[in-house]
Structure 1
Amino acid sequence: MTQEDFQLNDKVALVTGAAQGLGEALAVGLAEAGADIIALDRLPVDTCLKQIRALGREGIGLQHDLAAMTPERAQEIIAECVAGLGRLDILVNNAGVIRREAALDFSQASWEAVLDIDLSSVFYLSQAVARHFVALGQPGKIVNIASMLSFQGGQFVASYAAAKSGVAGLTRALANEWAGLGINVNALAPGYMATDVTAALRDDPARSQAILERIPAGRWGEPDDLKGAVVFLASDASRYVHGAILPVDGGWLAR
């Protein structure tokens, strides 16, 4: 094992949900390790691309809403990536949404919106990129973004807990099938991170204090805390890691 095993020079990564928050940090972290980046989001990705290009890496943006994903749309997105930067080596399935409602009143719209983007798009994009890798006979890396709610149930987030539990199971299932093809499928499970998704929790003094008291690190995570972990899972350093769900949670699950 050498430092070169952690380098991503000459690799191209697609990061979904890259306009802000965790996705932006993941994209920049991969670029810092040497990768060129395709930043995908339904929102503009200008800020993300500016950081990537400042590192001397190539970066292009794709604007897509991953709702109502189909195998055909996923195939088109992967083809667009390859056309844009000439190759594709890494897929980071980060895009996600959350809806907060009591389970007794949880609406069909809130259920389907979250499962659609947080789980179905993960599968269809993974399937499409794996078909690309296999057709070329090349190895590849898929990094999914799971959650603490891949291990726990949470409250008032039934669809999110279901989707993120599904991401963990899907990660293992795809790893079982594709490891022999040279495709590593793993996931990161961020803890409580200081992003827009957790703004309501951080703005509630009692809830925020209760969360912080359980985190051994004593602080909310920052998006940059994910950079080292995603580079590891996207690089040759993790070539014998398949089906892992890696918590990046300040020790939350250890309590």
Structure 2
Amino acid sequence: MEFAGKTVMITGAGKGIGRETARLLAARGAHVIAITRSQGDLDTLEAEIGCTSLAVDLADADATKAAAEAGPLPDYLVNCAGINVLEPFLEVTVEGFDLVHAVNTRAAMLMAQGFARRRIAAGGGGAIVHVSSISSFIGFDDHASYCASKGALDAMSRVMANELGRHGIRVNCINPIVTMTELAARAWSDPAKSGPVLARIPSGRFAETADIAGIIAFLLSDASAMMNGLAIPIDGGFLVR
């Protein structure tokens, strides 16, 4: 899983899984095009790994379309950006629902469209990994908008795998259990909420960002050449209990 001479575009690269993935792929030789909203996060990442950086609000459809066309032609795309608005189902707001879907689902679609058009124009080939969530399979309290956005991402990815696979572009989702990022900490800091979930994980812990980054690298690489259209739980055995 070496990436010398390859370029990978990563959304949500400023923090969490996206940043860890950017570090890992850069260490294995890739040139990273890092996309996130915070210029400060991009500045520190660029200083660390020498990436190309783009500050983009992925809730803005026009800005997202422009970002997908920017920079050198990427070989791979990782859609890692995500947002959550915690609301009980009966209190879900239109504003919260639309924002979560704009970032988690629509932005992934727009980035993938731009990536795929460029790859096809260049002769095809490449791979896309979407960072989805175990929440697409499980109805966690207060996560109605988030669960819906990730379920939609999984479903859309199956269509993408079907249509883009004909051009040599593979598309897969990974569906991690709670991964210890700043976003997860806000949602799972209460032991009354996190305790029952941890108790159901045979591995006895939530995921770390490095656990997820390594799997992303595998799915981008030629080692996974026959993997296409999957939604893969990365959950320490959560779903077997």
Bin the TM-score by the shorter chain: over 0.9
Matched letter for residue 59 of structure 2: A
Equivalent-residue separation in structure 1 for 2:3 and 2:233 (angstroms): 22
Q: Quick check: 2:17–2:213 contact (8 Å CA) kept in 1?
A: no
Corresponding residue for residue 69 of structure 2: 79
CA deviation vs aligned residue, 1:168-196 (integer Å, no higher than 9, x gap): 10111100111111001111111111111
Taking only the aligned residue pairs, the percentage that are identical comes to: 35
Q: Quick check: 2:56–2:64 contact (8 Å CA) kept in 1?
A: no
Give, in angstroms, the shift of residue 137 of structure 1. Answer: 0.5
Corresponding residue for residue 32 of structure 1: 27
Give, in angstroms, the shift of residue 201 of structure 1. Answer: 4.5
Q: 2:70 is paired with a residue of what secondary structure?
A: helix
Corresponding residue for residue 192 of structure 2: 206
Equivalent-residue separation in structure 1 for 2:33 and 2:187 (angstroms): 31
Q: 1:29 is paired with a residue of what secondary structure?
A: helix
Corresponding residue for residue 163 of structure 1: 149
Give the gaps of 5 or more residues in structure 2. none
Corresponding residue for residue 61 of structure 2: 69
Corresponding residue for residue 138 of structure 1: 124
Equivalent-residue separation in structure 2 for 1:200 and 1:230 (angstroms): 24
Corresponding residue for residue 52 of structure 2: 60
Q: 1:218 is paired with a residue of what secondary structure?
A: coil
Is the deviation greater in 194-203 or in 109-118?
A: 194-203
Give the gaps of 5 or more residues in structure 1. 1-5, 54-58
Give, in angstroms, the shift of residue 76 of structure 1. Answer: 2.3
Corresponding residue for residue 149 of structure 1: 135
Change (3 A) 1:213 1:232: same
1:175 aligns with 2:161: yes
Give, in angstroms, the shift of residue 75 of structure 1. Answer: 4.2
Q: 1:221 is paired with a residue of what secondary structure?
A: coil
Equivalent-residue separation in structure 1 for 2:78 and 2:220 (angstroms): 9
1:122 aligns with 2:108: yes
Corresponding residue for residue 47 of structure 1: 44
Give, in angstroms, the shift of residue 67 of structure 1. Answer: 0.7
Q: Quick check: 2:86–2:187 contact (8 Å CA) kept in 1?
A: no
Change (3 A) 1:215 1:10: same
Give, in angstroms, the shift of residue 25 of structure 1. Answer: 0.8
Q: Structure 2 length as normaliser, TM-score?
A: 0.94
Q: Structure 1 length as normaliser, TM-score?
A: 0.89
Corresponding residue to 2:175 among 168, 174, 189: 189
Corresponding residue to 2:208 among 217, 222, 238: 222
CA deviation vs aligned residue, 1:96-151 (integer Å, no higher than 9, x gap): 11001111111111010001111011111111110001111131111101100111
Change (3 A) 1:204 1:108: same
Q: Quick check: 1:75–1:125 contact (8 Å CA) kept in 2?
A: yes
Matched letter for residue 153 of structure 2: V
Two-structure CA RMSD over aligned residues (Å): 1.4
